Structure 1
């Protein structure tokens, strides 16, 4: 059976380069054999005073760490010439799970 979980990760405003958030999903009583992640969208930006030159990096991965647990890791980084801009981000994603019911 295919199970789809929609979720959002929020990166608070910070003066850093890349930042990573990890979440673990417990799937009991469903045994998870495969997992994939799909980024649905993201929202980021600078004000007009901070300039228009920037680079954004978003990486996502997931792994089945046990029969009933899936780990999702998302990394976000945004910079102009240096990592000196206070930025925040909201990233929406879907977690796709191939599961079987085992009570």
Structure 2
């Protein structure tokens, strides 16, 4: 079993959802299965912008070749009016 720990940073922006995609080369280790585990998140906006929000975080993995993994992280944070600028840092681990 191998583990890759990674952190992605979503800069502040007004959006209902954003995606960051990363590709990892694992040579000489062959990949037959891969899973992602969320390790931690840090997100938000100021108190002036309101207390109500909905958060979406999704991590998808795909084996491209036996030596390459693709990871897509989706992040979205919206307040009651769906127009707040937010940022996020997401930590995750890949296990293969």
Q: Same fold by TM (over 0.5)?
A: yes
Question: Does the Cα contact within 8 Å between 1:46 and 1:52 map onto a contact in 2?
Answer: no
Q: In the alignment, what sits opposite 1:23?
A: 22
Q: In the alignment, what sits opposite 2:54?
A: 55
Gaps of 5+ in 2: none
Give the Cα separation in 2 of the matches to 1:40 and 1:67.
Answer: 25
Give the Cα separation in 1 of the matches to 2:24 and 2:7.
Answer: 13
Q: In the TM superposition, what whole-angstrom CA distance separates every residue of 1:29-50 from its partner, at most 9, and x where no partner exists? A: 1111110000001001121111
Q: In the alignment, what sits opposite 1:101?
A: none
Question: Does the Cα contact within 8 Å between 2:31 and 2:67 map onto a contact in 1?
Answer: yes
Q: CA deviation at 1:82?
A: 2.9
TM-score computed with the length of structure 1 as normaliser: 0.90
- The answer to whether 1:80 aligns with 2:79 is yes
CA root-mean-square deviation: 0.8
Give the Cα separation in 2 of the matches to 1:80 and 1:11.
Answer: 17
- The answer to whether 1:36 aligns with 2:35 is yes
Q: In the alignment, what sits opposite 1:94?
A: 93
TM-score computed with the length of structure 2 as normaliser: 0.96
Q: Give runs of ≥4 in structure 1 deviating > 6 Å.
A: none
DSSP-derived class of the 1:33 partner: coil
Give the Cα separation in 2 of the matches to 1:17 and 1:39.
Answer: 20
Q: CA deviation at 1:83?
A: 2.7
Aligned residues: 96
